[in-house]
Amino acid sequence: MVTSRSLDALCGARLFFKCENLQRAGVFKARGAHNAVLALSDEEARGGVLTHSSGNHGAALALAARVRRIPAYIVVPENALPSKIDNIRRYGGRIEFCPPTLAAREAAAARIQSETGARLIHAYNDPWVIAGQGTAALELLEDHPDLDAIVAPVGGGGLLSGTAIAAKGLKPEISVLGAEPAGADDAARSLQAGRLMPQTNPRTLADGLRTSLGDLTFPLIRQQVDAIVTVSEAALGENMQLVWSILKLVIEPSSAVAVAAVFQAKESLQGKRVGVILSGGNVDLDRLPWIQRP
């Protein structure tokens, strides 16, 4: 947990940052992946585990599989960030590249599953994964039971739905806010429409938030989350740099979305105690948003 008087003064609230960027595999997804993999019976784990992922969940699953001493097969789109591909390899994941479409990812995963018998562990649309992600909020409230609100980024919804379940279960009156890029705002649109609105052509630096909500995560978010705050790409970059500069923490764009949402909603958070989940820190250092390219 990290705090900053400087950021508190800028925001007008008391902020408590949950540093999942310092988590194993550099991302909160280590929680859900380990929970799901360690819950498998020996028979279920016999063929290993499998997923399709743009990076963070794949690395986390590879790490969890290494702990369990079983193989991990990771289908990765060809345009995934090199730093995230390196993480998957570092933890022993068996990578298969595919075209960067959901159909291609699912087809490759289905083929590998039929060939190996590996157990599919979805990045977010899985009860064990959702429960594991919720432990970050559980720890936040164990340390600071007087929080008034928790902010978490939302892509597929595993972290946000797990956060809401844990937070509301411990403290029903707490506010839970989701943070989403305006260029990938399917969660905000889905809540407004009252039905699942698939992601179409997401445009954001926050590569971890380009996925659509799942049929498990959407109802949970609809029932438990108080609001979704959308932020611009400019705000995302500014707040990423702000955290690097003031907190001296390496966070990725998806984490910066949560920080930007706090400042976007600062009028409603004035004087409150707010937990902010910094979801991850896996970033390509030569692709930082504030670096000018020719």
Same domain, 112 and 142: no
Neighbours of 168 (CB within 10 A): 19
114 is catalytic: no
Same domain, 77 and 197: no
Please report where in the chains the tokens 């707040």 appear, as a residue: 239
Same domain, 246 and 115: no
pLDDT band for position 292 (cuts 50, 70, 90): low
With a cut of 90, say whether residue 84 has pLDDT above it. no
Average pLDDT over residues 274-288: 89
Q: What's the mean pLDDT when you consider all of the chain? A: 94
Residue span of the structural domain in which 277 resides: 5-27+128-287
Catalytic residue among 29, 168, 190, 255: 29
Residues 4-15 have pLDDT tens digits of 999 999 999 999
With a cut of 60, say whether residue 79 has pLDDT above it. yes
Decide which of 261 and 210 is more confident.
Answer: 261
9 inside domain: yes
pLDDT at 208: 86
Catalytic residue among 4, 53, 54, 190: 54
Residues 21-31 have pLDDT tens digits of 999 999 999 99
Q: DSSP for 47-102? A: T-EEEE-SSHHHHHHHHHHHHHT--EEEEEETTS-HHHHHHHHHTT-EEEEE-SSH
CATH number, domain at 69?
A: 3.40.50.1100
pLDDT at 254: 95
- pTM of the predicted model as reported, rounded to 2 decimal places: 0.93
Residues 148-189 have pLDDT tens digits of 999 999 999 999 999 999 999 999 999 999 999 999 999 999
Same domain, 147 and 118: no
Same domain, 95 and 176: no
54 is catalytic: yes
Integer angstrom CA distances of residue 100 from 34, 129, 131, 174, 213: 26, 24, 28, 38, 18
pLDDT at 117: 95
With a cut of 60, say whether residue 226 has pLDDT above it. yes
178 inside domain: yes
3 state SS for 222-239:
HHHCCEEEEECHHHHHHH
Same domain, 140 and 80: no
Q: How many helices (H) and strands (E) does the chain have?
A: 14, 9
